Chains A and B, each alone.
Chain A
Amino acid sequence: MRTLLATLLTGTVLATSAAWAQDFRIGLQEDPDLLDPHRARTFVGRIVFTSLCDKLIDVDAKLNFVPELATEWAWSNDNRTLTFKLRQDALFHDGTPFNAEAAKANIERARTLPDSLRKSELASVESVEVVDEFTVALNLSKPDATLLAQLSDRAGMMLSPATFEAEVATNPICSGPYKFASRVQNDRIVLEKFAEHREAADYHFGRLIFQPIPDSTVRLANLRAGDIDMLERLNPSDAESVRNDDALQFMPVAGLGYQGITINTGDGEKADNPLGRDKRVRQALQLAIGRDVINQVVGQGLFEPAQQPFPKASPYNSPAFPVVQRDPEAAKALLAEAGVENVSFELSFGNNTTTQAINELIQAMAAEAGFNISLRPTEFAAMQQEMKSGNYQAAQIGWSGRVDPDGNLHQFVTCKGTLNDSKYCNPEVDRLLNDARVTPDVEKRQALYEEAQRILQDDLPIIYVYHQPWPFVLSSAVSGFTAYPDGMVRLKGVTLAR
């Protein structure tokens, strides 16, 4: 009996330690950039940060803000001060405690570091005040409805202030459930379990291994061969075979971003054509494109048709603007009204097999309505520069999306927006979107966005085509995973049977 007990005990200990040491391997589409949350810029980098760095607040699957390092938060009556109550049991990976001083130091760093990419996100913050050891207040120069959303992402990630002077980008010290272990560029990023994390019991893997595998086919082959446990961004052309594979789980989710056609409507030489000058021609182009056709043919059902910049999950996605259905006859009528029967223009796109298929489909559908589109596949970095300098007529390009509606619209269509490659300018749209920025009340804000959209849906500087999906694929041995619209990989409660 005693032997039996001893054997059982040893068995349990062994099993627990085995579970402790378990690895979880995630295939990423690209290699992340700097691992410094204040200087990082890539989407895949955020996937790594999700396990590495706790933020003040997080979002849930329905895009509501939920506590993370902050337990509660409140706006002052004039909406000029945002106060956070912080957790008292959070530690950084170097053992130093997280408190209001640390929060202040981080927000100051994000605001002032010369090459911080968070500056514009925190532009409204005028000063940070330590109220007591676990209360921090942000004083704003003007009300900012976007601030909570910013703090639920990289701008709200907390590094150990003791390590600010060290090489943060190559050895980040945060307070998340996993700590940085090693990185080989283009090969892997390894994180190790942080045993002192307050929720350590809910994180079941000893190590996380992020492996950049750019080729979608190879990424899937690695998953099928058991060399990784999950992957992000499956190529839609593989969706069918994954759905039929019992060894895999397919968990696609509509993301926060979109893919669309940006049209040069500015005053430059390249905008001086019917498409750039006349909104009726752009409306005709929209009528000529079947968003549902693109979803079925190229997207394999993953490319949810988009009419608005805001994701379906967002409260700002308005029922007033349903998806425009394809109608080539109506498109022809509009072109006739505009006094042009044949419209020729050049459509640029960042070249890969999916975008190639989408744009060829757009070309074919638009041809039926009288558009003569010449396609211009371009390398992505080169296209970005041409768009910025106004040297393009129309471009199929996307945006990875933000939780707050402002992030998906303001910079793209306001006269001085840094991402306004369309060179669209309408003072009324500027006024509405600037107002929406400083209006925290959801209903009032919804009305402002709806009014702005009424103008934009008529002028069409950008034709939204589909919502960018995040198609995750997991081995069937994984359980407890939920796909979030922000495309992040949250591993709380996720287990692996092996």
Chain B
Amino acid sequence: MLKIVLRRLLVAIPTLILVSLIVFSLQKLLPGDPLLTLAGEERDPQVLAFLREKYHLDDPFHIQYLAWLGNVLSGDFGHSLRTGVPVATLIAQKLPVTLQLALMAIVLALLIGIPAGVLSAVRKGTPTDYAANVVALSGVSIPNFWLGIILIMVVSVQWQLLPASGYVPPTENFLQSIRTMLMPSFVLATALAAYLMRHTRSAMLSVLSSDYIRTAKAKGLLPKAVVLKHALRNALMPIVTLTTLLFGELLAGAVLTEQVFTIPGFGKLIVDAVFTRDYAVVQGVVLCAAVGFIFMNLVADILYIVINPRLRHPQ
């Protein structure tokens, strides 16, 4: 087990270097000069020259990259060009926000997706199955930002039930924090739940048609026990993969949802940073999101082993 984890971690290092290199070069390919956005409307030539030198923007590409990499390895992610705040501080501020949003969204998605998937597999071909499919399809098809704005209009403006947008840290006011995050996490969960439901359904269908389920039924086990204990546990493998990957994706920030609900998480940070060409922030956040994604992959691998004993002793 430890060996597997260690091996995975070693493989992660070249991946991270590759990711940072790709992001670094893509940023350089972006049209637009970061200095023009930094120097203000007036664009004073003296200031432009000073900033260009200060941020080494005239150095060759590889020098800039190696300087950045060296700083990162010594724990320095640099400062935001736009606000002067250290990138590490920004990440520390935004990571809990994005984590909370991702967790609430994934929990909601699991609560909706798995029961719906099981139900529609067990009642295959019935109106329940069709209804679940239609709902799932709409969940995937409705754009996040649209659903978000409609929810704000109805729930916050018309009914005045939940705050329209913003963020309250759970340490400051736990209940208010959950209330503010409820709509955005629901918006994210609709699409995720649909994926989960479809995968649960197909995994359950294939398990339910296998021999040992017929045997279990023949033994006279209660249908509930057959479905939940025997079928679902074996159908969980693809669902676990999907859930961890979806969660890893959420860690990179739910850009549109965060934008609509003005949640100060990774997504908003990175979009703003790209628009203002705030290179240091883009680099830092992407690296952090990549680490999160790789970590979630590792979690998936470990969960396989926990769920499926056959994987514990690889030949």
A residues neighboring B (CB under 8 Å): 31, 33-36, 40-42, 114-117, 119-121, 167, 169-170, 184-188, 211-215, 217-218, 221-222, 224-227, 379-382, 384-386, 388, 399-400, 411, 418-419
Given contacts A167-B84, A187-B167, contact A419 B260 (CB under 8 A): no
Which residues of chain B come closer than 8 Å to A211, judged between CB atoms? 166, 262
Query: Would B166 and A227 count as touching, CB distance under 8 A?
Result: yes
Given contacts A214-B262, A386-B31, A419-B42, 12 further A-B contacts (CB under 8 A): A41-B39, A185-B269, A188-B166, A221-B149, A225-B152, A227-B164, A379-B32, A380-B275, A381-B37, A382-B31, A400-B41, A418-B42
> Using a CB-CB cutoff of 8 Å, which residues 105-149 of chain B contact chain A?
149
Q: Is B206 an interface residue (CB 8 A)?
A: no
The minimal Cβ–Cβ distance linking A163 to chain B, given in whole angstroms, is 14
**Subset of 23 A-B contacts with CB under 8 Å:** A33-B83, A36-B84, A41-B38, A120-B46, A169-B83, A170-B83, A188-B166, A213-B165, A214-B262, A215-B259, A218-B260, A221-B156, A224-B157, A227-B163, A380-B275, A381-B36, A381-B275, A381-B277, A382-B30, A384-B33, A385-B31, A388-B36, A419-B42
Question: Which residues of A lie under 8 Å from residue B199 when comparing CB positions?
Answer: none
Which residues of chain B (21-70) have a CB below 8 Å from chain A? 30-34, 36-47, 50-51, 54
Distance in angstroms from A115 CB to nearest chain B CB is 5
- A385 near B44: Cβ-Cβ < 8 Å: no
- Decide: A31 and B272 in contact? CB cutoff 8 A: yes
Interface centre among B40, B41, B259 (most CB of A within 10 A): B41
- Across the interface, B165 reaches (CB within 8 A) one of A41, A170, A227, A380, namely A227
* Closest chain A residue, CB of each to CB of B90: A185
B175 in the interface, Cβ–Cβ < 8 Å?
no
B165 close to A218 (CB less than 8 A): yes
Question: Which partner residue on chain B sits nearest A384 by CB separation?
Answer: B36
Q: Are A214 and B31 in contact (CB under 8 A)?
A: no
Any A CB within 8 A of the CB of B264: yes
Which residues of B (262-276) have their CB < 8 Å from a CB of A? 262, 264, 268-269, 272, 275-276
Q: Which residues of B contact A418 (CB under 8 A)?
A: 42-45
B153-185 CB contacts (< 8 Å) to partner A:
153, 156-157, 160, 163-167
Q: Which 9 A-B pairs have the closest CB atoms?
A: A41-B40, A381-B32, A187-B264, A169-B84, A382-B31, A186-B264, A225-B156, A382-B32, A225-B164
**Residue pair B164, A186 in contact (C-beta under 8 Å):** no
CA distance A457 to B200 in the complex (A): 69
Q: Nearest Cβ distance between residue B209 and chain A, in whole angstroms? A: 48
Contact check, B264 vs A214: say whether CB atoms are below 8 A apart. no
Say which residue of A117, A218, A226, A385 sits within 8 Å of B47 (CB atoms): A117
Measured between C-beta atoms, what is the minimum distance from A68 to chain B in Å?
A: 23
Instruction: Let me know if B221 is at the binding interface, CB within 8 A.
Output: no
Q: Which residues of A contact B268 (CB under 8 A)?
A: 186
Task: Kindly state the separation between the CA atoms of A400 and B42 in the bound complex, as whole angstroms.
Answer: 11
Residues on B with beta carbons closer than 8 Å to the beta carbon of A381? 31-34, 36-37, 275-277
B8 at the interface (CB under 8 A from A): no
User: Which residues does chain B contribute within 8 Å of A170, judged by CB atoms?
Assistant: 83-85
Kindly list chain B residues whose C-beta atoms are within 8 Å of the C-beta of A120: 42, 44, 46
With a CB–CB cut-off of 8 A, which chain A residues contact B39? 41, 117
Task: Looking at the assembled complex, report how far the CB atom of A284 sits from the nearest CB atom of chain B, in whole angstroms.
Answer: 30
CA–CA, A386 and B262, complex, Å: 31
Contact check, B85 vs A221: say whether CB atoms are below 8 A apart.
Answer: no
Q: In the complex the two chains form, is A41's CB within 8 Å of B41's CB?
A: yes
A34, B260: Cβ atoms under 8 Å? Answer: no
Task: Confirm or deny: B190 has a beta carbon within 8 angstroms of a beta carbon on chain A.
Answer: no
The reply on B308 being an interface residue by CB < 8 A is no
Asked if residues A218 and B262 are in contact (CB atoms below 8 Å), the reply is yes
- Given A119-B44, A184-B93, A227-B166, also A213-B262 (CB < 8 A): yes
Among B43, B45, B82, contact of A33 (Cβ-Cβ < 8 Å): B82
Taking A117-B44, A419-B43 as contacts, is the C-beta distance between A184 and B264 under 8 angstroms? yes
Distance in angstroms from B53 CB to nearest chain A CB is: 9
CA distance A185 to B164 in the complex (A): 19
Say whether B262 contacts A115, CB under 8 Å. no
A185-B80, A379-B275, A381-B37 are known contacts. Are A215 and B166 too (CB-CB below 8 A)? no
Enumerate chain B interface residues (CB-CB to A < 8 A).
30-34, 36-47, 50-51, 54, 80, 82-85, 90, 93, 149, 152-153, 156-157, 160, 163-167, 259-262, 264, 268-269, 272, 275-277
Q: A227-B165, A400-B41, A418-B42 are in contact. Are A221 and B157 (CB under 8 A)?
A: yes
> Using Cβ atoms and an 8 Å threshold, which residues of chain B touch A221?
149, 152-153, 156-157, 164-165
- Asked if A34 meets B84 with Cβ closer than 8 Å, knowing A114-B50, A115-B50, A218-B152, the reply is yes
Q: Is the CB of B32 within 8 A of A185?
A: no
Contact A185 B264 (CB under 8 A): yes
- Cα distance A221–B167 when bound, in Å? 16
B42 near A218 with CB under 8 A, answer no
* Cα separation A379 to B275 with both chains bound (whole Å): 8
A185 x B93 contact (CB < 8 A): yes
* A385 x B41 contact (CB < 8 A): no
- The residue that B51 contacts in the complex, of A115, A121, A226, A386, with Cβ under 8 A, is A115
A217 to B261, CA, bound (A): 11
Cα-based distance from A380 to B166 in the complex (angstroms): 26
Q: Which residue of A has the minimal Cβ distance to B37?
A: A381
Q: Return chain B residues, CB-CB under 8 Å to A212.
A: 262
Indicate if the CB atoms of B262 and A117 lie closer than 8 Å.
no
* B178 to A: closest C-beta gap in Å: 16
Q: Given A213-B165, A381-B32, does the pair A119, B47 have CB atoms closer than 8 Å?
A: yes
A115 B54 Cβ-Cβ under 8 A: yes
Q: Given A184-B264, A186-B264, A381-B277, do A116 and B47 touch, yes or no (CB 8 Å)? A: yes
A215 vs B148: C-alpha distance when bound (angstroms): 12
Docked complex Cα distance between A382 and B34 (Å): 10
How far apart are A111's CB and chain B's nearest CB, in angstroms? 11
Docked complex Cα distance between A388 and B32 (Å): 10
Nearest Cβ on chain B to A212's Cβ, whole angstroms? 7
Complex alpha-carbon distance, A381 and B43, angstroms: 13
**Residue of A120, A187, A226, A379 most packed against chain B (CB within 10 A):** A187
CB distance from A344 to the nearest CB of B (A): 24
A33 contacts which chain B residues (CB < 8 A)?
A: 82-83
Q: B50 contacts which chain A residues (CB < 8 A)?
A: 114-115
B199 to chain A, nearest CB (A): 33
Q: What A residues does B157 contact at CB under 8 A?
A: 221, 224-225
Residues on A with C-beta less than 8 A from B165 are 213, 218, 221-222, 227
CB-CB < 8 A to B36: which residues of A?
Answer: 381, 384-385, 388
Instruction: Report the minimal beta-carbon distance from A486 to chain B, rounded to whole angstroms.
Output: 14
